[in-house]
């Protein structure tokens, strides 16, 4: 198989690394606007299988030409490029998965399902961690009950040694973080879809060996699950895990407008608050520390008339400063798995469709375990 990776950032590098370890992958193409960066990362993470080229993901024609001849591609660039890349993949006859993160973008991609079917390709948006892997775990949970009553998804990436005041470090693009904290959140309550405000609904939870944490509503994590499971589930929500107090400190910064894209005048210069805020976050929250990734999906429902609870849990720790971060592994590896499943024929459907519809959990979960992602499942 030949697989393309678009974007040489943290997640793109991890995807190249994972693909290069796979014996069924003959070659990997890494594309980025910065060709020098792409060359450097292809050399570092590609184990002799990866080549590098320059590509502007905004250029649909160039992207289609670049993807021609590849069996599958992984978009590891910000979500705003994904509609263009979906069109490019369809034109190239190449399967595509992306890391997603924005519901409006995914909705626009889903409108192209007829074109993808005609091109005999499968496009799977939102294939990272959350949105992403958790959708497949949710799909697995749906098959384990006669009736699923509720599903609560909690996910977070954290520094192993938190530093005040925010007790957080940048583990993925600042734009994505602000988007999660800024946009409305979709949940299912009493069997109906509804939206709630981000950075609300703070709750406390605990993980063994880590201690007390908090979780609160953020956008994008449920992705297409509310639509896919509508009519089948009474309650579904998603919250992001942070160290206690993070939400109370971060939310006021957004409430005064630091996440806004509406330009303001600063000494005669038009300045976008979000651009400044991103720069400050990157400067202040980028430091040298190991990270950890947490997943807890709790499903409750009925089996043979009895109330049961099924819990899916992952605690993934970065082992050393030279190793991939936990967030890189938990985000890029699931995308790589889905891309390889598409290219190998393990995914047979065509069109633009969500993971919970097209990815077989019984095939996906063993691929996770093969990558030393330790998923623990308990039921009581």
Pair 345, 302 in one domain: no
Q: Which two tokens stand for residue 167?
A: 């007790």
Please tell me the predicted confidence (pLDDT) of residue 288: 82
Pair 97, 143 in one domain: no
**Domains contained in the chain, number:** 2
Please tell me the predicted confidence (pLDDT) of residue 287: 85
- Would you call 56 helix, strand, or coil by DSSP? coil
Pair 165, 300 in one domain: yes
Pair 245, 140 in one domain: yes
Pair 199, 291 in one domain: yes
Q: 220 lies in a domain?
A: yes
- DSSP secondary structure letter of residue 128: B
Grade residue 149 by pLDDT with cuts at 50, 70 and 90.
Answer: very high
321-335 confidence digits (pLDDT tens) = 878 999 999 999 999
- What is the rounded average pLDDT of the residues 309-324? 93
Reply yes or no: is the peptide bond before residue 165 cis, omega within 30 of 0: yes
Residue found under tokens 């946009």 = 183
Q: 30 lies in a domain?
A: yes
219-263 confidence digits (pLDDT tens) = 989 999 999 999 999 999 999 999 999 999 999 999 999 999 999
Q: 378 lies in a domain?
A: no
The C-alpha atoms of residue 89 and residue 113 are separated, in whole angstroms, by: 12
Above pLDDT 70, what percent of the chain? 100
Pair 214, 302 in one domain: yes
Q: 379 lies in a domain?
A: no
95-122 confidence digits (pLDDT tens) = 999 998 788 899 999 999 999 999 999 9
Pair 107, 46 in one domain: yes
Q: 106 lies in a domain?
A: yes
350-360 confidence digits (pLDDT tens) = 999 999 999 99
- Would you call 297 helix, strand, or coil by DSSP? strand
- DSSP secondary structure letter of residue 17: H
CB atoms within 10 A of CB 170: 19
Please tell me the predicted confidence (pLDDT) of residue 175: 86
pTM higher than the cut 0.75:
yes
Pair 121, 228 in one domain: no
Above pLDDT 90, what percent of the chain? 93
Pair 364, 293 in one domain: no
Strand partners, 330: none
Alpha helices in the chain (DSSP H): 10-20, 35-45, 60-67, 82-92, 103-110, 113-118, 133-143, 174-182, 225-228, 246-255, 273-284, 326-344, 355-358, 361-370
Grade residue 374 by pLDDT with cuts at 50, 70 and 90.
Answer: very high
Q: 58 lies in a domain?
A: yes
Q: Which of 286, 303, 324 is the last residue of a domain?
A: 324
Q: 273 lies in a domain?
A: yes
Q: Which of 302, 324, 346 is the last residue of a domain?
A: 324
CB atoms within 10 A of CB 294: 23
The C-alpha atoms of residue 7 and residue 181 are separated, in whole angstroms, by: 23
- What is the rounded average pLDDT of the residues 287-295? 93
Pair 166, 89 in one domain: no
CB atoms within 10 A of CB 208: 7
- Provide the residue range defining the domain that includes 106: 2-128+328-373
Pair 114, 242 in one domain: no
118: domain CATH number is 3.40.50.720
Q: 380 lies in a domain?
A: no
Pair 76, 213 in one domain: no
């Amino acid at each position: 198989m030949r697989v393309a990776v678009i974007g040489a950032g943290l997640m793109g590098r991890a995807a190249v690394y994972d693909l290069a370890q796979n014996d069924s992958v003959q070659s990997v193409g890494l594309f980025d606007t910065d060709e020098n960066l792409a060359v450097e990362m292809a050399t570092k993470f590609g184990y002799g299988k990866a080549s590098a080229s320059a590509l502007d993901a905004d250029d649909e024609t160039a992207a289609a030409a670049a993807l021609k001849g590849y069996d599958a591609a992984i978009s590891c660039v910000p979500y705003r490029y994904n509609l263009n890349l979906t069109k490019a993949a369809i034109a190239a006859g190449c399967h595509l998965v992306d890391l997603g993160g924005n519901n409006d973008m995914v909705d626009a991609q889903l409108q192209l399902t007829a074109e993808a079917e005609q091109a005999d390709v499968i496009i799977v948006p939102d294939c990272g961690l959350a949105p992403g892997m958790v959708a497949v775990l949710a799909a697995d949970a749906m098959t384990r009950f006669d009736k699923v009553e509720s599903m609560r998804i909690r996910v977070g990436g954290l520094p192993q040694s938190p530093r005040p005041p925010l007790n957080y470090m940048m583990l993925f693009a600042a734009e994505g973080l602000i988007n999660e904290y800024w946009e409305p959140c979709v949940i299912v309550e009493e069997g109906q879809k509804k939206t709630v405000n981000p950075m609300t609904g703070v709750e406390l939870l605990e993980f063994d060996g880590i201690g007390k944490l908090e979780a609160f509503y953020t956008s994008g994590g449920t992705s297409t699950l509310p639509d896919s499971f509508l009519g089948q589930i009474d309650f579904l929500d998603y919250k992001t895990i942070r160290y206690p107090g993070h939400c109370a400190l971060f939310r006021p910064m957004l409430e005064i407008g630091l996440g806004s894209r509406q330009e303001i005048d600063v000494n005669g210069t038009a300045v976008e608050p979000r651009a400044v805020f991103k720069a400050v976050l990157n400067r202040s929250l980028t430091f040298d520390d190991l990270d950890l990734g947490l997943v807890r999906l709790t499903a409750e429902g009925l089996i043979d008339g009895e109330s049961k609870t099924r819990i899916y849990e992952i605690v993934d720790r970065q082992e050393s400063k030279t190793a991939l971060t936990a967030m890189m592994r938990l985000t890029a590896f699931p995308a790589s798995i889905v891309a390889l499943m598409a290219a190998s024929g393990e995914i047979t459907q065509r069109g633009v469709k969500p993971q919970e519809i097209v990815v077989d959990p019984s095939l996906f979960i063993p691929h996770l375990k093969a990558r030393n992602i330790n998923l623990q499942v308990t039921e009581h």
